[in-house]
Chain A
């Protein structure tokens, strides 16, 4: 597709369950970012990939959160043992080069943990 695609757009799960959120970046974009946006807040950085490797995962809140990008394209954000506080919009963005600062965002995956 032309833009960044995120699936699912909405995910409702129960506390303690495992969740995967998928991001398909713009073709050819080597840089990929995950952000989390809580209600009424601006997006907060989670992790940055350059190619297949996580160059900066300093924003992941704890070890229940993990992300992969095995082939340098699609990325999956994985959340184990979900908690109600994990409820948020999870945003993925990509760019051609990591340092331009201009990111192209997907529409997000809204996660609700009951």
Chain B
């Protein structure tokens, strides 16, 4: 079975400093991995996805993530945090199923706080 572990439940950074949100995955297949963001009172939004192409994936709003198979990690980074980045971030692995669909398995989430 697929699973993801987000290593930090809360991360706090100052505006303008780098962001690192850590995620480890467990998968018996070559995984598809995603990061979703959830702002207060908003729907989940896809930040970026990895599907076995380039290991460094660029997403929206300056975020990127690197797939490292040897470390089973898919950490999310951003060089410089902005106040608007404050939100809940979810690392997600896709679990393939017969019938041709993928079930998304979510991590517990990391709440990012950005301070002036």
Give the interface of A toward B (CB within 8 A).
Answer: 3-4, 31, 33, 35, 40-45, 48, 50, 55-56, 91, 93, 98-108
Give B76 Cβ to nearest chain A Cβ, in Å. Answer: 15
User: Which residues of the other chain, A, contact B73 by a CB distance below 8 angstroms?
Assistant: none
Flag if A56 contacts B44 (CB, 8 Å): no
> Roughly how many angstroms separate A91 CA and B101 CA in the complex, as a whole number?
18
User: Which residues of the other chain, B, contact A45 by a CB distance below 8 angstroms?
Assistant: 103-105
Tell me the count of chain B residues lying within 8 A, CB to CB, of chain A: 26
| A101-B102 contact, Cβ under 8 Å, with A42-B90, A43-B44, A91-B44 | yes
User: Which residues of the other chain, A, contact B102 by a CB distance below 8 angstroms?
Assistant: 98-101
Q: Which residue of A lies closest to B96 (CB)?
A: A99
Interface: B55 (CB within 8 A): no
| A105-B104 contact, Cβ under 8 Å, with A41-B109, A56-B97 | no
Q: Which of B7-56 contact A (CB under 8 A)?
A: 32, 34, 36, 41-46, 49, 51
> Roughly how many angstroms separate A105 CA and B36 CA in the complex, as a whole number?
10
Flag if A98 contacts B100 (CB, 8 Å): yes
Contact with A along B53-78 (1 / 0, CB 8 A): 00000000000000000000000000
User: Which residues of the other chain, B, contact A55 by a CB distance below 8 angstroms?
Assistant: 99, 101
User: Which residues of the other chain, A, contact B43 by a CB distance below 8 angstroms?
Assistant: 3-4, 91, 104-108
Give B23 Cβ to nearest chain A Cβ, in Å. Answer: 11
6 intermolecular pairs with C-beta atoms under 8 Å apart: A44-B106, A48-B103, A56-B103, A99-B101, A104-B43, A108-B43
